[in-house]
A and B are shown apart, each in its own frame.
Chain A
């Protein structure tokens, strides 16, 4: 029971990270109907920027951890958002109106570019970061097993919840959110009614990238290591989460992220850690076979 509770806590933490990445997939898919294959690598770039920014801040004398982390958060969100904007501007925007698979292939190319760019710029080795946030609480102490809730886990979950709330507000209440929802329903009609479609799509990428960078920071804090390849697997899992929750649906992305995090954690805990990625990928296949619209998604009607 204690073991189960501990895995539940770990799963929810991991799921929060996946959920944050999944939002980027689900928003882009909802609006322009493409899988932004490079999104996982944007998450990786966000983690790297955060790592380097933190080291740079320490080097110039900002050693108070809370302040440094706050600045890192701002820097990483801003610069990763810039990456999101640039990728959209150069690799996807010229392809609007091209054949259906063109953006996907371009996105695969972009993903290869980002991975190799970071590998060349920062080296292929794993980058470790000593734990910045230490300590935690023992929830249940028993002689066999202590259930721990670490401070990092609290921060990850709370940050995720706060961002989700802010983002839901943005989509539901602001002008930009209304534009985004209009674009999601009908791009052409939205542009006829005065929505600046290009700008809205750009901002969608920017926001998605900013959220992914937060996920990157959380990943860095939680695991303490980062390398140029984390984006690929995390990206596929987050995409699985988006599909599982119902692509195009924001609560769905979060729910899907949580479920994938839990599935992965429990699978590692009770079956085999080697096959945890196989479990996540199999879930993707199973969901698409039996529940192609996801848990909270709307069925898609194919028109002739």
Chain B
């Protein structure tokens, strides 16, 4: 009888003891917050109602869960494999080369396959927006290793740039798009300067504060941004000058189609797909350039980086500017798609969502980010009825990923520089956010 395995598991009595302990803890945690509920009564004063079944269920679940865990795993922490086993990794690596292409082909075909399903097209546009945001943030977090919790600020700058330029000066989307990118990257540099000297988590908090400042200014500067009412009737995009309207000179009549409102949706879909692919392509190309290598070197070791004569100031600033620029592009796309924006769309939760996509996908892995955006937003849509629970699940997912798969879904990375043969390496060999 192999004793090593046995000693992990606990005898029944000890397991029971653990379970009772867990149930007590659960009772303490949930008694006031779940077991009792406060509601405003008719007089306006708070009244208390009990909700004992829910409390009993949670305590019971804690008891049962802890009991089973103690019997099956003992008190050792449960370890799922932090990376896939080598054989699987090799298969995944081979599949990964084609998975990207397959996903791209699928994305290109979505408007053809689901032409009549407006809901799916809208969902696709949303997923692609987050893919683009994820890829943009990946430059800052995944490549340069700078944790940015205020990424949504650049998204907001892009959105408001387009919205205000278009509604005030009547500039078209195609002129505003580069302007929005430039403005956003300008703000990226402004944020970048003060945080140059900061290390990982200080940096994170400052970027968070920055994001909140931008949101609060958008909220309170009523005369400029419209305050909480936001900016409405933002011009919709045109097909390079041909508007999507049902009249002569519109897109449909110029090309001799019957007019359909879906044309615009399909155009928006291909537009965001193109923007996202540009982001991806630029990132892949940049990784081969000295600046991209400097980013990755910075992520691995800032001191070594400096010792080798890399200018860390410009390296960090370009990373912020580049990431911010793509955030700005995505923002102006968001504005033109929605036709209406308000500060509510740019809260910290949004930054956390984009960050979660990047982290879940595996920081630095382009394919992983796309898969994660798809999984996360698809999951949100699937559980739409459980609307109030989805942020809760989202929070649990973030914690669980950090515990069990801190390197994300795609745990291998393609090194930019290699000796001899080119092959993927385990994500654990890559530093994350030490800078």
B34–A95 touching, CB < 8 Å: no
Return the CB mask of B346-365 against A: 1 if under 8 Å, else 0.
Answer: 00110010011001000000
A99–B398 touching, CB < 8 Å: no
Judge whether A161 is part of the interface by a CB distance below 8 angstroms: no
Judge whether A83 is part of the interface by a CB distance below 8 angstroms: yes
B147–A101 touching, CB < 8 Å: yes
User: A98's contact among B199, B388, B406, by CB below 8 Å, is which?
Assistant: B406
How distant is the Cα of A240 from the Cα of B202 in the complex, in angstroms?
10
B389 surroundings in chain A (CB, below 8 A): 116, 120
Task: Give chain A nearest CB distance to B195 CB in angstroms.
Answer: 8
User: B396's contact among A48, A56, A109, A121, by CB below 8 Å, is which?
Assistant: A109
B398–A108 touching, CB < 8 Å: yes
User: B28's contact among A53, A82, A120, A277, by CB below 8 Å, is which?
Assistant: A82
B201–A35 touching, CB < 8 Å: yes
Chain B residue with the shortest CB-CB distance to A76: B32
Task: Give chain B nearest CB distance to A87 CB in angstroms.
Answer: 10
| Segment of A3-11, A165-173, A282-290 engaged in the interface with chain B | A282-290
B36–A56 touching, CB < 8 Å: yes
Judge whether B212 is part of the interface by a CB distance below 8 angstroms: yes
A128–B33 touching, CB < 8 Å: no
Interface of B is mostly: helix
Task: Give chain A nearest CB distance to B230 CB in angstroms.
Answer: 16
Judge whether B205 is part of the interface by a CB distance below 8 angstroms: yes
| A121-B395 CB under 8 A given contacts A35-B205, A59-B48, A104-B147 | no
A48–B388 touching, CB < 8 Å: no
B398–A79 touching, CB < 8 Å: no
A284–B205 touching, CB < 8 Å: yes
Those of A39-55 within 8 Å (CB) of chain B: 45, 48-49, 51-53, 55
| Segment of B37-45, B94-102, B168-176, B372-380 engaged in the interface with chain A | B37-45
Given A91-B403, A109-B398, 6 further pairs, Cβ under 8 A:
A35-B205, A55-B36, A105-B398, A109-B356, A122-B37, A278-B217
By Cβ-Cβ distance, the 7 closest A-B pairs, closest first, are A109-B398, A112-B395, A113-B395, A281-B209, A101-B433, A106-B402, A109-B399
Give B contacts to A, CB under 8 Å: 25, 28-29, 31-34, 36-40, 44-48, 77, 147, 149, 194-195, 197-202, 204-206, 208-210, 212-213, 216-217, 219-220, 303-304, 348-349, 352, 355-356, 359, 388-389, 391-392, 394-399, 402-403, 406, 431-434
